[in-house]
Amino acid sequence: MARTLIRNAQAVLPGDGIHSSSGTVDLRHVLIEDGKILDADASSTASCDHLIEADDLFLLPGVIDDQVHFREPGLTHKEDLATASHACAAGGVTTFLEMPNTKPPAITIEGVQAKEALAAEKSLVNYGFYIGATPNNVAELNAAQNVPGIKIFIGSSTGNLLVDEQAALERIFAETTLPICAHCEDETTVRANAERLAGTTDIHDHSRIRDEAAAVISTARATGLARRHQHRFHVLHVSTGAELVSLVDPSPYLTAEVCPHHLFFNVDDYDRLGSRIQMNPSIKTAEDNAKLWQALQDDVIQVIATDHAPHTLEEKAQPYPQSPSGLPAVENSLALMLNQCNAGKVTMPQIAHWMSDAPARVWGITGKGRIANGYDADLVLVRMNSERTIRDEDQHTKNRWSPWNGETLRGWPVTTIVNGSIVWSIDGGFREKIRGQKPTFDHARGGFWNTADGIGPTNA
């Protein structure tokens, strides 16, 4: 069992876990053995087979992105598990959880297992796949094991993945046990707005069709179901300040997330970026940006995830509303937050909490999300004084573009470690033979609110 010592790193260590600012940063030597952290406070002279000198570098737990669309199978002209996992590795993302709206959709156990098999063959980083809900697949949802959870599209989907009827939603919340997440936009509101604005070719109308009311109505509906049925529920991509009223009342059943595009972009950016920032839920106002940042600071929102959902630039260049919604983000999300840290707006422990520890706890991913003894050695070394400009042509995502094209950020990953092995470094590139693993999802641990001290190793 080979040992690796990361020496002289400024390690970002967990606090009590509930409050995002409670962690610490401390000079540490971290010893890794057999893919796990053997000693998070080792001696600088500990015996090892491989030495990583981390002077002037910060060591964070690897990012867990709990909402991505990697398009395989069926839509691989947009992205696939190989290209997407390369983008993850270069961005410090060591685990992703992928959504079920592929072709065919992952709405059966066999469908989920088929995607797991593809990832085992192709992915450089760790992976998990949600099972998708339909109006009539409760039996499949209950038979699924060792998956992150159930995904419901309460809006913004078509065919059998759209679950909008109240009776079907009641069945899913009442009769299943896996944690649930959902895309919350009220279909009735969206369709009425679309009819009112029929014929528009103005990209600004996307945020008028998928407006604040659509998000607020659907989030209130879904969180109400979760409270009434006492079912763990995670609100995906909160986009408005008005939705927060459904989250501020503490509940052991509710958690929520926000995405970088809803933190950094608003409707004023359509003139500059057009359909590059066309998303579902839509971009909202600068006031919403500020309220979402504050919700993170106040622990009302627990997770940052990307909703990475690439399309080709040719597809995005179509006139609205033919242009599809979605953007790539996995390789820049951590750098965006590190840049905010350099600006004094967030702290390193907050970043580790929002992007690593909290998603591990929400989805019961054992041994992930913290730098602590016994945890998996999923780690990222970052250089906080490194400046780099995001450029379309440098992206590793298949479509080679970013909505942040041209922006210069300070603070970037330089080495990504997955299960104890370096999978990417700024100097050495990718280690193409490395493959990630499917983690263990232990929902008996009770989710975010019941794991304040971390989700713990698999054998804890």
pLDDT in tens, the chain (460 residues): 799 999 999 999 998 767 777 899 999 999 999 999 999 999 999 999 999 999 999 999 999 999 999 999 999 999 999 999 999 999 999 999 999 999 999 999 999 999 999 999 999 999 999 999 999 999 999 999 999 999 999 977 766 788 989 999 999 999 999 999 999 999 999 999 999 999 999 999 999 999 999 999 999 999 999 999 999 999 999 999 999 999 998 789 999 999 999 999 999 999 999 999 999 999 999 999 999 999 999 999 999 999 999 999 999 999 999 999 999 999 999 999 999 999 999 999 999 999 999 999 999 999 999 999 999 999 999 999 999 999 999 999 999 999 999 999 999 999 999 999 999 999 999 999 999 999 999 999 999 999 999 999 876 5
Per-residue b or e along 91-119, where b marks 16 or more CB atoms closer than 10 Å to that residue's CB: bbbbbbbbbbbbeebbbbeebbebbbebb
Count Cβ atoms below 10 Å from residue 446 Cβ, excluding itself: 14
CATH topology match: 3-60+370-386+410-450 vs 63-363: no
Note whether 346 and 23 are within 8 A (CB). Answer: no
Q: Residue 319, preceding bond cis, omega within 30 degrees?
A: no
What is the per-residue pLDDT for 159? 67
Known catalytic residue at 307: yes
**Superfamily of structural domain 63-363:** Metal-dependent hydrolases (3.20.20.140)
Rounded to an integer, what distance in angstroms lies between the CA atom of residue 39 and that of residue 31?
Answer: 5
Look at residue 192 and give its three-state secondary structure: helix
Residue spans of the domains in the chain: they are 3-60+370-386+410-450, 63-363
Note whether 115 and 85 are within 8 A (CB). Answer: no
Q: What is the DSSP-derived secondary structure letter of residue 319?
A: P
Note whether 92 and 382 are within 8 A (CB). Answer: yes
Read off φ and ψ for residue 198, nearest 5 degrees. Answer: -55, 135
Fold for 3-60+370-386+410-450, please state it.
Answer: Urease, subunit C; domain 1 (2.30.40)
What is the per-residue pLDDT for 420? 98
Give the CA distances from residue 90 to residues 133, 259, 395, 420, in Å, rounded to whole numbers and listed in that order. Answer: 32, 19, 9, 16
Read off φ and ψ for residue 42, nearest 5 degrees. Answer: -80, 170
What is the per-residue pLDDT for 158? 65
Read off φ and ψ for residue 66, nearest 5 degrees. Answer: -90, 10
pTM comes to 0.98
What is the per-residue pLDDT for 15? 85
What single letter denotes the amino acid at residue 266?
Answer: N
Catalytic residue selected from 80, 205, 211, 307: 307
Look at residue 380 and give its three-state secondary structure: strand
Note whether 81 and 32 are within 8 A (CB). Answer: no
